[in-house]
């Protein structure tokens, strides 16, 4: 019988310990240790053997510098978040809540690539994947190979035979190595399988995509070590009830982390959204109060977003505050500023706030648009539909400058807005350069006065 030993892993950061401890010495998390059994006899053997490659240290000056070899990605939004193409030998992790569309995105990528792709699924059978593929546009289905498999050893056998140019694993939590006794999805299994896949990616220069599940609190399931191991971490997010999906980079060794891709989930799969602002603000009735447009930035991309506020007298005691797509604590702060600095009686009002399209916004530049939407709804005064806003609000009711104001102004101008309200503390703006009317103010009160008299 194989000798096995028991070890304890921190669920949060993957710290390993011989005995159970209450508080992780590495990440200070309490009660995060779980017991796992590791088969000692086979632990050191690697499945993806180096196949006789013997490496020696080389002087750094003798290493030839070559640009990373990138496979152009036909999926333009994905291409953008990856930093321009799929880098050879890179390990990319895609995380997201169940049902958000990770499998769809990966299958679509497999079908779009002209390269030979092996799609390993531990969650669905070949028939189920075929059913899904039938809904998608398949341009290169002859180069897409599917296998439903959960054993990493068997996966490597298939890889050796097929020699794919791109590997997709859906999901890393369903893979298991027979050399470890713990169940699939446990920390040691995830770490082991990801480690072997990394070795495979680096030795053969094959790009590998890993789909990863997300835990209840929104972090990638399995330990943080997974995030350390891979080259790129992408987050796929959005409200599953809404059609828009956002692909975000949270780590990228081969590009910027401030990139963003937007998709729309349709009956035929994910469609790339090339000009998100137009969609987010298209369905608008003129002359409705409580609706404003905020000029935000998502990564490097300016995005104009519609904000809807509904303010109505609180009928039953404690007023209700509810916000979708925006931090409710920040909303409370803005309401307090409105009460204190502009004299609005917010304490007796219910306030509901909604960001159009199910987008989550954490750019403070949206503050001004929110305050104006609240006031507009409170007094039932519509805001001109060709006006937008870009400023943070301070606790003193002052307008604060925001980053990349020029990009925001340009985007607003491009989309046909005629007026933009910004902070007068914004630096280096040459108003004569733009066709759009730029109104700069120092205080929230002054903006209200200018808008509504
Ligand atoms: P899926 O890719 O299975 O999500 P994940 O792998 O992240 O769990 O996405 C499933 C959802 O997408 C499901 O609710 C159905 C929907 N969907 C469409 O709307 N259109 C399509 O063409 C496909 C394939 C799925
Ligand atoms: Mg899936």
Q: pLDDT 10s per residue in the chain (453 long)?
A: 556 778 888 877 778 889 999 998 888 888 888 887 776 555 445 556 555 566 788 888 888 777 778 999 898 999 989 988 999 999 999 988 888 899 999 999 999 999 999 999 998 999 999 999 998 877 777 899 999 999 999 999 999 999 999 999 998 989 998 888 778 888 888 888 999 999 999 999 999 999 998 766 655 556 567 888 899 999 888 777 778 888 888 899 988 877 788 898 888 899 988 877 767 776 666 788 999 999 998 777 788 999 999 999 887 778 999 999 999 999 999 999 999 999 888 888 999 999 887 778 889 999 999 999 999 999 999 999 899 999 999 999 999 999 999 989 998 998 889 999 999 999 888 888 899 999 999 999 999 999 988
| Residue bearing the CA closest to ligand 1, atom 9 | 101
Three-state SS at 330: helix
Query: How many Å lie between the centroid of ligand 2 and the Cα of residue 404?
Result: 37
Q: Residue 388: helix, strand or coil by DSSP?
A: strand
User: In sequence order, what are the beta bridge partners of 354?
Assistant: 308, 324
What's the Cα-to-Cα distance from 396 to each of 24, 241, 333, 336, 445, rounded to whole Å?
42, 38, 11, 10, 11
Q: Does residue 185 contact residue 175 with C-beta atoms inside 8 Å?
A: no
Distance CA 368, CA 422 (A): 9
* CA atoms within a 13 Å half-sphere pointing along the CA-CB vector of 20: 8
155 CA → ligand 2 middle, Å: 18
Q: Taking the model in full, what pTM does it have? A: 0.76
Which of 5, 6, 11 is closest to 26 using CA atoms? 11
Query: Which of 104, 170, 209, 242 should be mutated for ligand 1, with most atoms under 8 A from CB?
Result: 104
Give the number of the atom of ligand 1 that is nearest the alpha carbon of residue 132: 24
117 close to 143: Cβ distance less than 8 angstroms? yes
Angle between the 367-378 and 328-342 helix axes, to the nearest 10 degrees?
60
**The pLDDT of residue 283:** 63
Note the residue count of the chain: 453
Q: Tell me, in angstroms, the distance from the centre of ligand 1 to residue 291's CA.
A: 32
- Cα(171)–Cα(126) distance, rounded to whole angstroms? 15
Q: Whose CA is nearest to atom 23 of ligand 1?
A: 269
Point out the ligand nearest to the CA of residue 96: 1
What pLDDT is attached to residue 3? 64
How far apart are alpha carbons 349 and 380 in whole angstroms? 14
Residue 427 structure tokens: 């630096």
Distance 22 CA to ligand 2 centre (A): 34
Nearest to 70 by CA among 167, 161, 205: 205
Nearest residue CA, atom 13 of ligand 1? 99
What are φ and ψ of residue 374, in 5° steps?
Answer: -65, -45
Which residue is closest in CA terms to ligand 1's atom 14? 99
> 244-257 burial, b if ≥16 CB within 10 A, otherwise e?
bbbbbbeebebbee
pLDDT value of residue 58:
85
Distance (angstroms) between ligand 1 centre and the Cα of 242 equals: 12
Secondary structure E strands in 267-398 = 269-272, 291-298, 301-313, 321-324, 349-355, 387-390, 392-393
Q: Which residue has the tokens 């930035």?
A: 297
Which residues have C-beta atoms less than 6 Å from ligand 1? 96, 98-104, 132, 135-136, 265, 267-269
CA atoms within 13 A on the CB side of 101: 27
> How crowded is the C-beta side of 393, counted as CA atoms within 13 Å?
27
Predicted pLDDT at 188: 83
**Residue 420 phi, psi (nearest 5):** -130, 135
- Give the residue among 12, 32, 31, 39 at the shortest CA–CA distance from 189: 39
Q: Residue with structure tokens 């009686």?
A: 345
């Amino acid at each position: 019988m194989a000798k096995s030993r028991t070890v304890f892993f921190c669920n949060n950061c993957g710290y390993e310990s011989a005995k159970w401890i209450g508080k992780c010495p590495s990440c200070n998390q309490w009660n995060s240790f779980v017991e796992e059994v590791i088969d000692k006899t086979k632990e050191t053997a690697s499945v993806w053997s180096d196949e006789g490659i013997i490496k020696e240290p080389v002087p750094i000056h003798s290493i030839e510098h070559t640009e990373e070899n990138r496979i152009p990605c036909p999926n333009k939004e994905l291409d953008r978040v990856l930093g321009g193409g799929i880098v050879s030998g890179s390990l990319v992790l895609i995380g997201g809540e169940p049902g958000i569309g990770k499998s769809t995105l990966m299958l679509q990528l497999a079908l779009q690539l002209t390269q030979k792709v092996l799609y390993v699924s531990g969650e669905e059978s070949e028939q189920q994947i075929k059913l899904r593929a039938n809904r998608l546009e398949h341009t290169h289905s002859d180069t897409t190979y599917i296998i439903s498999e959960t054993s990493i050893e068997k996966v490597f056998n298939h890889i050796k035979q097929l020699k794919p140019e791109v590997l997709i694993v859906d999901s890393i939590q369903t893979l298991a190595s027979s050399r470890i006794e713990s169940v699939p999805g446990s920390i040691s299994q995830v770490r082991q399988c990801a480690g072997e896949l990394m070795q495979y990616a680096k030795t053969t220069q094959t790009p590998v995509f890993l789909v990863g599940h997300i835990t209840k609190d929104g972090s990638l399931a399995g330990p943080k070590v997974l995030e350390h191991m891979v080259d790129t971490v992408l987050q796929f997010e959005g409200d599953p009830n809404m059609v828009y999906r956002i692909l975000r980079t949270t780590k990228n060794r081969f590009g910027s982390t401030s990139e963003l891709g937007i998709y729309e989930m349709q009956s035929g799969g994910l469609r790339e959204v090339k000009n998100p602002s137009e969609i987010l603000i298209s369905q608008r009735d003129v002359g409705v109060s409580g609706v404003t447009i905020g000029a935000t930035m998502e990564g490097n991309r300016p995005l104009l977003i519609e904000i809807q506020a509904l303010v109505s007298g609180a009928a039953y005691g404690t007023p209700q505050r509810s916000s979708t797509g925006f931090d409710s604590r920040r909303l409370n702060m803005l309401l307090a500023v409105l009460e204190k600095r502009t004299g609005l009686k917010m304490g007796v009002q219910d306030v509901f706030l909604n960001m159009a399209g199910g987008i989550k916004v954490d750019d403070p530049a949206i503050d001004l648009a929110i305050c104006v939407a609240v006031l507009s709804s409170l007094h039932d005064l519509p805001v001109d539909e060709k006006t937008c806003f870009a400023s943070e609000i301070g606790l003193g009711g002052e307008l604060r400058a925001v980053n990349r104001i020029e990009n925001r102004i340009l985007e607003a101008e491009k989309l046909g807005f005629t007026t933009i309200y910004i902070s007068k503390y914004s630096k280096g703006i040459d108003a004569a350069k733009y066709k759009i009317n730029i109104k700069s103010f120092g205080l929230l009160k002054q903006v209200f006065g200018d808008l509504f008299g």
